[in-house]
Chains A and B, each alone.
Chain A
Amino acid sequence: MDEVDTLRRGLVAAVVGGVTAGGFFTPAASYLDRFAPLSGDVWRSTTDETPDEVESPYGSATLQYDGHRVPEVRADDERALYYAVGYAHGTDRLFQMDLQRRLMRGQLSAVVGEATLDSDEFHVRMDFARAADANWTALQSRNPEVAGILEAYTAGVNAARDDQRYPLEFELLDYEPAPWTPADTLILQLQISWTLTGSFETLRRARLRNALGDGYEELFPRRLDHDSPILRDADAGPVDSLTGELGDTGGSPGAALTDWLSSFESPDGVGSNSWVVSGDHTESGAPIVANDPHLSLLAPPVWYQQHLDGPEDWVRGVTFPGVPFVIIGENRAGAWGFTNAGADVLDVYEYETDGERYRYEGEWREFDTEDHSIEVADGEDVTVTKRKTVHGPIVEREGERVGVAWTGLTATATTDAIHAYAHSDGVDDFREATRQFDLPTQCVVYADRDGNTYYKVTGRIPVRRVDGEAVPGWRVFDGSAGEGEWAGFTPYGESSWEGFVPFEEKPGALNAGYVATANQRILDDPEYYLGESFSAPFRGERIYELLDEWTAAGDVTPEDMRDLQRDALDTRARRLVPRLLDAVDVESAGAPFDALTEWDYRMVRDSEAALAFAVVLDAYREELYREGFDAAGLGEEYWPGDWVTVTLPEDAAWFDREATPASASGAMQSALDAAAGRVDSEGWETYGDYNVVALSHPFDQSFLNYPEMPTDGSAATVNNFRRDSDVGSSWRMVVPMDGEATVVLPGGNDGDPFSGQYDDQLAAWAAGDYYAFDRTFGGPRVEFGGGD
């Protein structure tokens, strides 16, 4: 009996001891440390409360949230104000901020492993970090006031980092964020600028031209045939002839390099809508500003809403977490919003090289080189040799290399401009601030409470010259010959901008009746080369169509502007569906396709016809391009845009090729058959079954992702949502200069996935509803004190 007893006791001791030891010394330890109830770091993180009082070296301030976790920050000193703003960002969005700076610094692999090594290599070679450092150095000497604010903001972020538990994502990835720095804020500004203007379209077009030969121009026209540029009146901006030879396109680097670089451009669909209507056309007699930027839709959102009440002014709106100042919003005097201008601010150069040197204007020069070690989690560090020429960084892949010049790689004064917007006292102030808005190239719309309206293209736009002649930037320049250089541009230093398009000569309009911007062509006949190509006019033409119609019938209201932001009429459908009905028998295809015969072209959730159009268009693209592009060695990412897809004529030369359909109508019949099969297998009945918002957290885990829900709109409607790339209206704002302003975010302001405010605005956004911009701030409150 004793032996049995001893055996049992030994066995029990072994089990209990083994489990205990396993909990401490096996991989299970990290799970227990993170997820055990009560003590788990993940739970500690999400239940950690923001303190009621915080010591501030910059003096007193108050931060108080509303029910949607939107903070109001009040202070009598601007640095004290932005210290508290930094504290709010560090509390609510620290992981997002850290992830973005890691992306731009090429430090993702250090925490997620080799999956992001390509991205890190690209960002290291571009050396955005050095550009941010140059920016910070320049800012301190150019504008000590703003530099001081940035330091206060940085201190606030770090106070939140030190006072509170790290956001749970840090626990999940098991690393600690480094202290925030002013250069981190400036590198985040570069990140959004890169998203909006970092385009290798020149290389992609060269690749397409080589692969497709004849027929390339038919599928990829530089100028789309439409009558809805942003500035429609001849006197709206300077007009003259474009200089340069359209046919001269320079060299064409290898496919591997182009494919690689293309993967670091912005996702499909990044763009925006904005318009400003003067008081002459509004019921109140005061202007209205509307803006909805189309960016990646993420969990949490790219934007952070904040209301600031400073010593002299108030300002409210949204910013990118990590950037202290309101970027889109309103203040006491006016309101402003942005869309992407589509200007060409990136050029590529080829060189004659002998390996370590490059030829430049008749002499051999050493590359400016530096070895950089990329840390890789659970792997060996990878060393990348950064090379630079007089033009900028060298990017290389599989033996192919080009030099890159991008306006973001020099010091810019955009931070000064954004800061000045908050203090602007009307259109004159705002215009002066806009002069400093060096990057990115945007279309800004503005209205003030005195009744003025303003539209302007922001950002520095280079003028390239070959043999003294200004030329378009749509070619690969011979860097060794000194072609296509930007006078006054100093990469990683301070630029004089002397050779760039003068501010006064960039397109603009003061006190126009109304101006609508949706990334379409800015002018029909610009004096200077502005951009390689512009977005299709689907949204722009629709906005102008409705503004023309409504203002002709009477005066518009803020509710009309919200209706316009919600407008879901798809002008692609208006072009393609009549052709489709002529070419195929949709009645015999049954539901939902028979609904196309009597449809108003609106992409709304309960529409059968909208579902039919969406799936037919998907299938039509497949039929038109899949085999033809595969045969040319080109992936889906190279397919033409929807403008060409819906307008490609029956007798297009594309159909004469071997690997393409026989005709547009033949492709439509095949597309209808394929679409019917897809609808049947998916079990879809209406557009809402297809057009589902499913926004993901960067970790793409179910408990971190947003709930899925149907919504209206499409890639081409004013109410903008691209289901395939999760890009769409990232902030909707309608601000009348006299009346109630309304806004909504696609998600929530709090970055904590367990917070009730993580996704509390998503349903309203998906339904096209808004919240009042005015808020009652009665939630958690933090008092900042101490300091001078």
Chain B
Amino acid sequence: MRRLAWMGVSAVVGLAVAWFHWVGLLVGGVLVGALARSWSRALAAGLGFGLLAWVVFLAVLSDAGRLAAYWGSGQLLYVSLAIPLVLGLVGSLAYGLKPVQRVD
């Protein structure tokens, strides 16, 4: 449970930084990846964080009345979806930086 809570905190921290700079998407991925128990869970957490960031982004667009046009924006939609997924995933590779023994 504590690990899950820390993951939640990490995601919030990542989103907070991402609000101001794209590097927050990477930081979020790093934090959730580092907290994971396995490679697969780390990568899933990284992707999950990226997806979460995109969903939050959708909520921001919706609040501003921009969501309808966003769905039709083609390349911009794809780029803005790809960026958090890729950065979250790359960040989650930080799992591999841990020197401790892992169960693979």
> Which of the residues B70, B80, B93 comes within 8 Å of A36, measured between beta carbons?
B80
Of B15, B23, B30, most buried by chain A (CB within 10 Å of CB) is B23
Which single residue of chain A is at the shortest CB-CB distance from B55?
A: A37
A510 to B46: give the CA distance in the assembly, Å: 76
Cβ of B97: which chain A residues have Cβ within 8 Å of it? 9, 12-13, 16
With A20-B26, A756-B69 known as contacts, the answer to whether A38 contacts B74 (CB < 8 A) is no
Cβ of A35: which chain B residues have Cβ within 8 Å of it? 76, 79-80, 83
With A5-B99, A16-B93, A37-B84 known as contacts, the answer to whether A754 contacts B70 (CB < 8 A) is yes
Query: Is B47 part of the binding interface, using a Cβ–Cβ cutoff of 8 Å?
Result: no
Query: Digit string of A17-49 for contact with B (CB within 8 Å is 1, else 0)?
Result: 001100100000001110111111011001101
Query: Is A753 part of the binding interface, using a Cβ–Cβ cutoff of 8 Å?
Result: yes
Cβ of B63: which chain A residues have Cβ within 8 Å of it? 47
With A12-B93, A754-B69 known as contacts, the answer to whether A38 contacts B53 (CB < 8 A) is yes
Q: Chain A contact residues (Cβ within 8 angstroms of B): what range? A: 20 to 34
A242 to B54: give the CA distance in the assembly, Å: 71
Query: Is B91 part of the binding interface, using a Cβ–Cβ cutoff of 8 Å?
Result: yes
Which single residue of chain B is at the shortest CB-CB distance from A757?
A: B65
Contact: B22 with A39, CB < 8 Å? yes
A369 to B30: give the CA distance in the assembly, Å: 63
Query: Digit string of A479-510 for contact with B (CB within 8 Å is 1, else 0)?
Result: 00000000000000000000000000000000
Cβ of A364: which chain B residues have Cβ within 8 Å of it? none
Contact: A8 with B96, CB < 8 Å? yes
Query: Is B4 part of the binding interface, using a Cβ–Cβ cutoff of 8 Å?
Result: no
A559 to chain B minimum Cβ distance, whole angstroms, is 33
With A15-B93, A38-B57 known as contacts, the answer to whether A32 contacts B72 (CB < 8 A) is no
Which single residue of chain B is at the shortest CB-CB distance from A18?
A: B90
Cβ of B96: which chain A residues have Cβ within 8 Å of it? 8-9, 11-12
Query: Digit string of B28-60 for contact with A (CB within 8 Å is 1, else 0)?
Result: 001000000000000000000000011011001
Main SS class of interface, A = helix
Main SS class of interface, B = helix
> Which of the residues B19, B30, B65, B95 comes within 8 Å of A39, measured between beta carbons?
B19
Cβ of A756: which chain B residues have Cβ within 8 Å of it? 65, 68-69
Cβ of A39: which chain B residues have Cβ within 8 Å of it? 18-22, 24
Cβ of B84: which chain A residues have Cβ within 8 Å of it? 36-37
How many residue pairs link A and B with beta carbons under 8 A? The number is 105
Query: Is A241 part of the binding interface, using a Cβ–Cβ cutoff of 8 Å?
Result: no
Contact: A9 with B99, CB < 8 Å? yes
A756 to B68: give the CA distance in the assembly, Å: 8
Query: Digit string of A700-713 for contact with B (CB within 8 Å is 1, else 0)?
Result: 01110001000000
Query: Is A194 part of the binding interface, using a Cβ–Cβ cutoff of 8 Å?
Result: no
Query: Is A385 part of the binding interface, using a Cβ–Cβ cutoff of 8 Å?
Result: no
Query: Is A58 part of the binding interface, using a Cβ–Cβ cutoff of 8 Å?
Result: no
Cβ of A19: which chain B residues have Cβ within 8 Å of it? 26, 87, 90
Contact: B56 with A38, CB < 8 Å? yes
Query: Is A725 part of the binding interface, using a Cβ–Cβ cutoff of 8 Å?
Result: no
Cβ of B87: which chain A residues have Cβ within 8 Å of it? 19, 23
Contact: B94 with A37, CB < 8 Å? no
List, sorted by A's number, 10 A–B pairs whose CB atoms are closer than 8 Å: A12-B94, A13-B97, A15-B93, A23-B26, A36-B25, A37-B56, A38-B60, A43-B80, A702-B74, A703-B74
B residues contacting A by CB (< 8 A) are: 15, 18-26, 30, 53-54, 56-57, 60-61, 63-66, 68-70, 72-76, 79-80, 83-84, 87, 90-91, 93-97, 99
With A12-B97, A16-B97 already in contact, 20 other A-B pairs whose C-beta atoms are closer than 8 Å: A12-B96, A13-B97, A16-B26, A16-B90, A16-B93, A23-B23, A33-B22, A36-B80, A37-B54, A37-B57, A38-B60, A39-B18, A39-B19, A702-B74, A703-B69, A703-B72, A707-B72, A754-B61, A756-B68, A756-B69
